[in-house]
Amino acid sequence: MSRHFLRLRDFSVDELNNLIERAIELKRLRHDGSPHQTCANKTLAMIFELSSTRTRVAFEAGIAQLGGQSIFLSPRDTQLGRGEPIKDTARVLAKMVDIVMIRAKDQATIDEYARHSDIPVINGMSNELHPCQLLADIMTIVESQGEIEGREVAFVGDGYNMCQSFIEASTIFGFDLKVATPLDYRPSAKYVKCSNHVEFMDSPSDAVLNADVVVTDVWSSMGHEEDTHRVKAFDGFQITSNLLDKAKHDAIFLHCLPAHRGEEVDEYVLDDPRSLVWEESGNRLHSQKALMEFLLN
């Protein structure tokens, strides 16, 4: 029976902490130029129903650095786009490759794929969750602040897949999460009811007050671009340097990227000294390498 990584809670807290420790070690090995080909001759297949820069490059470069190789599959160029069932694709790929990453519009597609896969499956983002991004985010917090347990995290913006992933992480890692979203864009009750670490705040200022970490995401995730009400609904939810001033003096700012300057962030905040967004995006590489190494070995 293969292990899958479809959501953070597929792993124990010890496994997640070990994985983050290993990601930090892999980062050092890469910076030192030390060989670490722990997945030699392994093949990763990557299915992308939606576009990607960071996730694709981190997985593709990552498996190559571990001594393996990858195959990029988009529905446009495969039989998936012509209606071959996901469960048949899962059975076929399991005969040919060693591990699969899938980014899908619907979490149910990823769950169904995994149910029919004899090899490890990784969730590369869905409408509900983005667990790979959380590995990089927790790694970035651990690197900069020492530990995540007991920290105050503020999430400001859309209560979508990133917010829901932070809710899932809050229970597992034991940090307090203050969420500020417009009322119509709150995260799903399915996730909220699973955490006793989440508090909804009336305003972004209330959420950010004395926070150790401030997080946001785009107001219109992939698939929501046509919702023209969003810019009005999210008025007042932009992260600015002035808003960050309400957090602790050594607070950090995270954003999974891509960012829309002038919407969820102003022109300057990504380059504010408190912003670790570039380090965070680089940590996608190291954390995903640690994840593949764990699942393959």
Interacting residue ranges for ligand CP, rule: CB under 6 A = 52-55, 125, 133, 256-257
CA-CA distances (angstroms) from residue 32 to 26, 35, 36, 64?
10, 9, 11, 17
> Judged by CB, which is closer to ligand CP: 13, or 50?
50
Whole-number Å distance between alpha carbons of 76 and 60 = 19
Minimum distance, C-beta of residue 171 to ligand CP, in the bound complex (Å)? 22
Contact 291, 123 (CB under 8 A): no
Instruction: Give the chain's count of helices (H) and strands (E).
Output: 11, 9
Whole-number Å distance between alpha carbons of 246 and 267 = 19
Active site residues: 103, 130, 133, 217, 256, 284
Identify the bridge partners of residue 121 per DSSP, sorted by sequence position.
100
Minimum distance, C-beta of residue 248 to ligand CP, in the bound complex (Å)? 25
Question: Which residues in 152-227 belong to E strands, given as ranges?
Answer: 152-156, 176-180, 198-200, 213-216
Structure tokens at 78: 């495969």
The DSSP symbol for 157 reads S
> Judged by CB, which is closer to ligand CP: 94, or 99?
99
Whole-number Å distance between alpha carbons of 46 and 73 = 6
- Which residue shows structure tokens 């007991």? 150
Minimum distance, C-beta of residue 54 to ligand CP, in the bound complex (Å)? 4
> Judged by CB, which is closer to ligand CP: 7, or 54?
54
Q: What is the dihedral of CA 193, 225, 235, 154, to 10 degrees?
A: 40
> Judged by CB, which is closer to ligand CP: 52, or 170?
52
β pairing state of 121-123 and 99-103: parallel
Whole-number Å distance between alpha carbons of 163 and 44 = 28
Minimum distance, C-beta of residue 126 to ligand CP, in the bound complex (Å)? 11
> Judged by CB, which is closer to ligand CP: 94, or 252?
252
Kind and range of the H or E run holding 22: helix 13-32
Minimum distance, C-beta of residue 41 to ligand CP, in the bound complex (Å)? 26
